[in-house]
Amino acid sequence: MTEAELNRYNRHIRLPQIGLAGQQRLNRARVALVGAGGLGCPVAQYLTAAGVGTLGIIDGDNVAESNLQRQILFSPEHIGQNKADVAARLLTRQNPHIQVVVHPFFLDAGNILNTLSQYDLVIDGSDNFATRYLVNDACVLLNKPLVFGSIYQFEGQVSVFNYQDGPTYRCLYPEPSDLEACGEVGVLGVLPGITGCLMANETIKLITGVGDVLSGTLLTFNALSCSFQRFSLTADPANKLIQSLSDHVAVCAQVVPAVSVPELDVATLLDWLNSPVPPLLIDVRRADEHARDNLGGQLIPLDVLQQNPEQVPTNQPVVVYCQSGGRSRQAVQFLGQRGYTNVTNLIGGLNAVRKLSRN
């Protein structure tokens, strides 16, 4: 390290847990950042300041005026320019001692393995489920740790996936959620900054070996109550058996099936459950998911239901649910095609119920 670098990183080096050896690990690290948006901006800025030697920024999107409320790396003069290009220019000015590699494109099954294989670890700051599943599956295939973060309105989530024998993103979300991306809903401007700093913190810990990383733990932050919560995650070995990248398109396509099915929202369900003739609840998730949290009723995993639909009664109303509404819609559609007229899908699934109860 040069004298200028030693002076620049002096406060890191003074920390006995990091020291010169830890700073050298940071300088040698090669980190891929997927997305230079709300989460990617603070992650990139803090890792640049920390001296991560090579930072690859992957984003095919251009800066838009609506981004400026939360993507504070950008200014009005950058509108219309590629985010990865702009970020690289600004970050290189911030720290000329590091290398910023520009990947000005969106990831897909054809380019992701070659792109991510160049790096030691991956940070996912994307804002859509198709990319998250794709990045997760690629990291499993490449055996690379994945720092995950997401934001929704006033809540942020952070975890570390595919680290040693820990869980993957699919262990947290076996199926896509019905929640919309930040482009479709509002988000508090400071939230990605808070969440992104937590992601950068996990990245630095992974590189330097300091502290306990959030593997097997989901950390959530609620900006309205200014509170943190930690949830334990269990690794499902089946999620490490990915053989190809083709499945992510199919699983994300299941969020909005082409065929409409009878549905109801959480408020309607709660009223119905308190009525003189409540419906039978059927959970079509896996047994381990049901054991962690459920709404009661009967457990019939989707694959079992598809093999033996006669388990579903025809003489009473039935509401089918899963974690976020995808599998249950499949189940209701499947049953409807076989003549069932008494089954209804719960929109948003268990996630929607728990979200309402928190509010």
Of the residues 41, 139, 182, 252, which is catalytic?
Answer: 182
Residues 353/204, Cβ–Cβ less than 8 Å? no
User: What's residue 256's pLDDT?
Assistant: 38
What are the pLDDT digits (tens) for 64-104? Answer: 888 999 999 999 999 989 999 999 999 999 999 999 999 99
> Active site residue: 41, 139, 252, 322, which one?
322
The CA distance from 151 to 74, in Å, is 19
- Whether the per-residue pLDDT at 255 is higher than 60: the answer is no
Q: 288 or 204, which is more confident?
A: 204
Q: What is the pLDDT of residue 181?
A: 46
Q: Is 354 a residue whose pLDDT tops 90?
A: no
pLDDT tens for 193-240 read 999 999 999 999 999 999 999 999 999 999 999 999 999 999 999 999
pLDDT of the residue at 178: 52
What whole-number distance in Å separates Cα of residue 329 and Cα of residue 18?
50
- Give the list of residues 6+ apart from residue 150 with CB closer than 8 angstroms, or none: 39, 127, 132, 156, 157, 195
The per-residue pLDDT for 271 is 94
Quick one: what percent of the chain has pLDDT higher than 90? Answer: 75
Look at residue 326 and tell me whether its pLDDT is greater than 90: no
- The answer to whether 332 and 158 are in contact (CB under 8 A) is no
What local confidence, expressed as pLDDT, does residue 127 receive? 87
Does the pTM of the predicted model rise above 0.85? no
Please say if the pLDDT value at position 258 is more than 50: no
Specify the higher pLDDT residue, 175 or 180: 175
Residue 248 has pLDDT above 90, yes or no: no
Query: pLDDT band at residue 351, thresholds of 50, 70 and 90?
Result: confident
By percentage, how much of the chain surpasses pLDDT 70? 92
pLDDT band with cut points at 50, 70 and 90 for residue 125: very high
Residue 165 pLDDT more than 60?
yes
Least confident of 43-47, 62-66, 172-176, 343-347: 172-176
Burial class (CB in 10 A: 0-12, 13-18, 19+), 79: middle
Q: Compute the average pLDDT of residues 315-319.
A: 95
Domain chopping of the chain, boundaries: 3-253, 263-357
DSSP assigned state of 258: S
> Please, what is the angle between helix 191-208 and helix 40-50, to 10°?
40
Q: What is the mean pLDDT of the chain?
A: 90
The CATH code of the domain at 263-357 is 3.40.250.10
DSSP letter for each residue of 194-214: HHHHHHHHHHHHHHHT-S---
Q: Specify whether 171 is catalytic.
A: no
What would the two tokens of residue 317 be? 């109303």
Q: Please say if 139 is a catalytic residue.
A: no
pLDDT, position 246 = 58
**Averaged over 242-267, what is the pLDDT?**
63
Handedness of CA 51, 169, 36, 348 (dihedral sign): negative
Domain 3-253: which CATH class? alpha beta
